[in-house]
Structure 1
Amino acid sequence: MHQFFVEKSQVGKEYVTITGSDVNHIRNVLRMKIGETIRISDREGGNYFCKIAETGENFVQADIVSVDEEGTELPSKIYLFQALPKGDRMETVIEKAVELGVYEIIPVAMKYCVVKLEGKKAAQRVQKWQAQAETAAKQSKRSIIPKIHEVVSFKEALKLAENCDIRLVPYENENGMEGTRTVLEQIEPGKSISIMIGPEGGFAEEEIAKARETMQSISLGRRILRTDTAGICMMSMLMLQLESRI
């Protein structure tokens, strides 16, 4: 079943009107027919199972068959603060984190980041990443499209992370998974969570020291994980913890 996103204003009492680029995708790429079932989310948490009723040059009308009351979102908003990785690893982080339920991803420029993004180049990259987040959200049947934030400095990232109820920073020099298990088991559904992931070169000493002033440092095991693996690992553990408590 294919997933599409619309604005709340496009949802009526009995049907949903799809416009924009999805119309061409439905008609000419997927070649969907009248009567086929699709899932539609209104970007505000509303989810609907619909059947295509009519297609036109600039619209697709889908009749609402039922409302998906449970949805697919985690019971907590997770903010992933990801140090800028090299190559295309950010694309992997975005794809997998969106599939695992992240609410927002904030790229962070840290001292030992190999990649440097500023100005127009940064804006273009964020726009591309946002499109990838939408694709991943459709594939994984998310109820929202997670936002990809503009690139921020480490100082700005810490300030943003302070707004969350739970603040975690995985660090390779921490010892013991028992402490990690204890921290995770104390997280209640509904609590907002921030995760700070360091770069390939690791946190600078002053960065981890500053992070520890407001964040809980935890271990991800005895092995050293790549920066793109660490965020996915944290998302997986949090998904297990949160969804097992529903």
Structure 2
Amino acid sequence: MQRYFIELTKQQIEEAPTFSITGEEVHHIVNVMRMNEGDQIICCSQDGFEAKCELQSVSKDKVSCLVIEWTNENRELPIKVYIASGLPKGDKLEWIIQKGTELGAHAFIPFQAARSVVKLDDKKAKKKRERWTKIAKEAAEQSYRNEVPRVMDVHSFQQLLQRMQDFDKCVVAYEESSKQGEISAFSAIVSSLPKGSSLLIVFGPEGGLTEAEVERLTEQDGVTCGLGPRILRTETAPLYALSAISYQTELLRGDQ
């Protein structure tokens, strides 16, 4: 059944007999899926609830829906994982956002690292963020997520440091830790986090984080970790981490 994310909370939806879908979603319902009155869709509210809905009326600029039933499906990771990626070259961040969304990331924080080749002014950063947000939304629909991960504004490194206290735990993926054979810290941290906790994971761009950046991150209580014995590319490491978290918190623990 086709899935759509709507900009209403569950409470707002329940306040009226029907609710309306507008914007780009209408084009998809009417012109792509060619749906009519009586057809059913899945709607996900802003606060992560999922409902089976029936189309009550369909026009070119608005679709009215009636909730048939709220489901109890929850496809979000038990912990909220924030992926902070030093801006990489090309379309690598698009790949990270698309696949990271499929793997359960809660949000993405692109930041300007010392070794980031890409430099974005405000205008380019705004345009990029719009595209990244669209990619996250489409990936969330495809993977049956309850929520669309938030793609935040491009941060400076200083802004990233200032945000670190907002999270329950911060991990710094550092290739030197892998080279030195460190393999247990990441697993231990993930295992220690209770359901609903927030975890920030910081990844460098091509070339990795500088020693100075790692030092400043650890001064803010970031913990350096290796991600296995191999050195991973900047676009591979976040996906490895998310997969490991899913295994440890969903498959191994059996959390739903």
TM-score by length of 2: 0.89
Q: Say which SS state the counterpart of residue 184 (structure 2) adopts.
A: helix
Partners of 2:173 and 2:44 lie apart in 1 by 33
Q: Which amino acid aligns with 1:11?
A: I
- Name stretches of at least 5 consecutive residues in structure 1 with no aligned partner: none
Quote the Cα distance in structure 2 between the aligned partners of 1:68 and 1:77. 21
Map of 2:196 onto structure 1: 190
Residue of structure 2 equivalent to 1:91: 94
Give the C-alpha shift of residue 82 in structure 1. 0.8
Equivalent of residue 154 in structure 1, options 154, 157, 179:
157
Question: Which residue number corresponds to residue 144 of structure 1?
Answer: 147
Would you say 1:6 and 2:3 are equivalent positions? no
Q: Deviations over 1:38-66 (max 9, x none)?
A: 11011112210112232123221222121
Aligned twin of 1:30 = 33
Deviation of 1:144 after TM superposition, in Å, equals 2.0
Aligned AA for 1:146?
P
- C-alpha separation in 1, matches of 2:136 and 2:185: 32
Aligned counterpart in structure 1 of residue 249 of structure 2, from 230, 242, 245 = 242
Q: Does 1:103 align with 2:110?
A: no
Q: Does the CA-based 8 Å contact 1:39-1:49 persist in structure 2? A: yes
Q: Is contact 2:204–2:234 with CA below 8 Å preserved after alignment? A: yes
**How far is the alpha carbon of 1:33 from its aligned partner?**
3.5
User: Which residue matches 1:177?
Assistant: 183
| 1:15-94 equivalence runs, <5 A | 15-94=18-97
Please say if residues 11 and 17 of structure 1, whose CA atoms lie closer than 8 Å, have aligned partners that are also in contact: no
**Per-residue CA distance 1:78-108 (angstroms, 9 max, x = gap):** 2111110101111000101111121211101
User: Aligned to 1:228, which of 235, 240, 248?
Assistant: 235
- Conserved 8 A contact 2:171-2:186: no
The equivalences for 1:185-224 within 5 A come to 185-213=191-219, 214-224=221-231
Q: Percent identity?
A: 35
Q: 1:180 to 1:57 in 2, by over 3 A?
A: closer
For 1:16 and 1:242, how far apart are their aligned partners in 2? 36
Say if 1:204 and 1:118 are closer, same or farther in 2 by CA, change over 3 A.
same
How many equivalent residue pairs?
A: 246
What RMSD in Å do the two structures reach over aligned CA positions? 1.7
Structure 2 counterpart of 1:5, one-letter code: F
What is the TM-score normalised by the length of structure 1? 0.93
Paired residues of 1:122 and 1:151 also in contact (CA < 8 A): yes
Change over 3 Å in CA distance of 1:189–1:136 after alignment to 2:
same
Deviation of residue 153 (structure 1)? 1.2
Letter in 2 for 1:77: K
Deviation at 1:14, TM superposition (A): 4.5
- Mapped to 2, the partners of 1:161 and 1:14 lie a distance apart of 43
Structure 2 residue matching 1:49: 3-state secondary structure: strand
Q: Which amino acid aligns with 2:195?
A: P
Aligned-partner Cα distance in 2 for 1:105–1:99: 13
